[in-house]
Amino acid sequence: EKFQEKIDYVFKVVVIGDSAVGKTQILSRFTKNEFCFDSKSTIGVEFQTKTVTINGKLIKAQIWDTAGQERYRAVTSAYYRGALGAMLVYDITKRQTFDHVARWVEELRSHADGSIVIMLIGNKGDLVDQRVVQTEDAVEFAEDQGLFFSETSAFSGENVNSAFLKLLQEINKVV
Per-residue contact track with ligand GDP, 25 to 54, x per CB under 6 A?
x-------------x-xx------------
Contact with Mg ion (CB under 5 A): which of 12, 14, 16, 24?
A: 24
Distance (Å, whole) CA 29 – CA 8: 24
Among candidate residues 113, 117, 51, 105, the one with its CA nearest the CA of residue 82: 113
Q: Which of 34, 20, 37, 11 is nearest to 160 (CA)?
A: 34
Q: Which does 19 bind (CB under 5 to 8 A by kind): Mg ion, ligand GDP, none?
A: ligand GDP
Q: Which of residues 42-71 bind Mg ion (CB under 5 A)?
A: 42
Q: Does 111 bind ligand GDP (CB under 6 A)?
A: no
Least separation in angstroms between residue 69's CB and Mg ion is 10
Q: 86: Cβ–Cβ under 8 A, 6 or more apart, which residues?
A: 13, 14, 15, 16, 108, 112, 116, 117, 118, 119
Select from 1-9, 18-26, 146-154, 165-173 the region that touches Mg ion (CB under 5 A): 18-26
